[in-house]
Amino acid sequence: MMDEFHFIRPWWLLALVLALIVWWLLRRHTDAAQSWRGIVAPHLLPHLLSGNEHRAKFRPLDLIAIGWLVSTLAVAGPTWRREPTPFAEDTAALAIVIKVSPSMMTEDVQPSRLARATEKVHDLLKDRAGAKTSLIAYAGTAHVVMPLTSDGGIIDTFAQSLDPKIMPEDGDVAAEAMKLAEQSLKDAGSGSILWITDSIAPEQATPLATWHKSSPLPVRLLPALYPGAELDAVRNASGAAGASVVLLSPGDADVHTLARSAKFAAALSGGDPSSRWQEAGYWLTPLLALLFLPFFRRGWMVPTASASR
């Protein structure tokens, strides 16, 4: 993340050059020994001058210069992360990836794994009313069933119609499905993936890990399984995609968890038209306040003032 560090208004850094010039000129002007150099021997000069202003190595002027530097850095707008604009949509986009294979028709989860999964999708869409959602189905091949849309009814209708019989071939191409999900979220600029499956083929470990390394998208896995050996296997295999697991629940606790966690998401690489760079200059204001605390001390500015006369 810090590799994206830059300044939002870098032209303000030119003020540092002006600050250096002004500091140097004023330091020479307030140096009581300046006018005697070249006339009095250097080793005698300290003994001929009186006043704390000559002996002090760190003057109020130096503190002002440091404050100028810190203020300039703050105004230049250091940043390294994005944030949604105030007028951006409240809920981030979501790509729903569902495995549609014969095993998803197993009825150990009533009425079946696939039917229970689509019921959860239905409830999730209700919780995310108006939010952009896309639907991807996969088995031996991956397909965009519905591109990104804010019409949850269409997503729900297509999800309820999913059946292994409509898939061209059986198998597992989870990594290809993730790529399609990421591509579908490009237009939104940010979002996350909800992955629903009952198994992950061992040969998908490497492709999923490769995809995960190159993608900033968070993945949440909702296994269409109850506790047991199959669930344990899916949880272990999902680590390749960096997925966080939300367990299937009899009620709607899982749906509410998914809705909350999917509400906000980081911006995709390449920039998000509905996001902006987050200002971080305000973190320098406490330092700026500390720098100017000595100026409230009585007598702090007197030596400089007397030296300039």
**Same-domain status, 107 and 52:** no
Residues contacting residue 87 through CB under 8 Å, at least 6 positions apart: none
**Same-domain status, 227 and 295:** no
Domain with residue 236: its CATH number is 3.40.50.410
Omega of the bond leading into 111 within 30 degrees of 0 (cis): yes
Q: Which amino acid is at 177?
A: A
Q: Which domain holds residue 248?
A: 94-261
Specify the pairing of strand 219-223 against strand 192-197. parallel
Report yes or no on 87 lying in a domain. no
**Same-domain status, 193 and 297:** no
**Same-domain status, 146 and 290:** no
Residue 274 and residue 85 in contact, taking contact as beta carbons nearer than 8 Å: yes
Cα gap 142→99, rounded to integer Å? 9
**Same-domain status, 248 and 102:** yes
Report yes or no on 272 lying in a domain. no
**Same-domain status, 151 and 34:** no
Measure CA 106 to chain center: 39
Cα gap 75→84, rounded to integer Å? 21
The pLDDT profile of the chain, 309 residues, written as one tens digit per residue, is 566 788 889 998 898 888 888 878 777 666 555 555 556 566 665 655 554 444 455 667 778 888 888 888 889 889 887 765 554 445 789 999 999 999 999 999 999 999 999 999 999 999 998 899 999 999 999 999 999 999 999 999 999 999 999 999 999 999 999 999 999 998 777 789 999 999 999 999 999 999 999 988 999 999 999 999 999 999 999 999 999 999 999 889 999 999 988 876 554 444 444 457 788 888 888 888 888 787 777 766 655 444 444
- Output the CA–CA distances (angstroms, integers) from residue 141 to 4, 160, 164, 170, 219, in the order listed: 36, 19, 12, 8, 20
Alpha helices, H only, the chain: 15-29, 45-48, 52-55, 60-75, 113-127, 152-160, 174-184, 205-214, 229-237, 253-261, 285-291, 302-308
pLDDT digits (tens, 9 = 90+) for 4-23: 788 889 998 898 888 888 87
**Same-domain status, 41 and 178:** no
Closest by CA position to 52, among listed 32, 36, 69, 75: 32
**Same-domain status, 222 and 286:** no
Report yes or no on 116 lying in a domain. yes
Cα gap 258→221, rounded to integer Å? 9
**Same-domain status, 151 and 7:** no
Report yes or no on 86 lying in a domain. no
**Same-domain status, 152 and 72:** no
Query: How confident is the model at residue 90, as a pLDDT?
Result: 53
Report yes or no on 271 lying in a domain. no
Helix/strand/coil for 19? helix
Q: Over the range 140-159, which residues count as b (16 or more CB within 10 Å of their CB) and which as e?
A: eebbbbbebeeebeebbeeb
Residue 248 and residue 220 in contact, taking contact as beta carbons nearer than 8 Å: no
pLDDT digits (tens, 9 = 90+) for 95-126: 999 999 999 999 999 999 999 999 999 999 99
Report yes or no on 13 lying in a domain. yes
Report yes or no on 159 lying in a domain. yes
Cα gap 110→115, rounded to integer Å? 8
Closest by CA position to 223, among listed 214, 235, 211: 235
Give the total number of structural domains in the chain: 2
**Same-domain status, 214 and 75:** no
Report yes or no on 187 lying in a domain. yes
pTM: 0.62
Cα gap 134→243, rounded to integer Å? 18
Query: How confident is the model at residue 302, as a pLDDT?
Result: 54
Query: How confident is the model at residue 307, as a pLDDT?
Result: 43
How many helices, marked H, and strands, marked E, lie in the chain? 12, 10
**Same-domain status, 115 and 40:** no
Query: How confident is the model at residue 68, as a pLDDT?
Result: 85
Cα gap 88→282, rounded to integer Å? 23
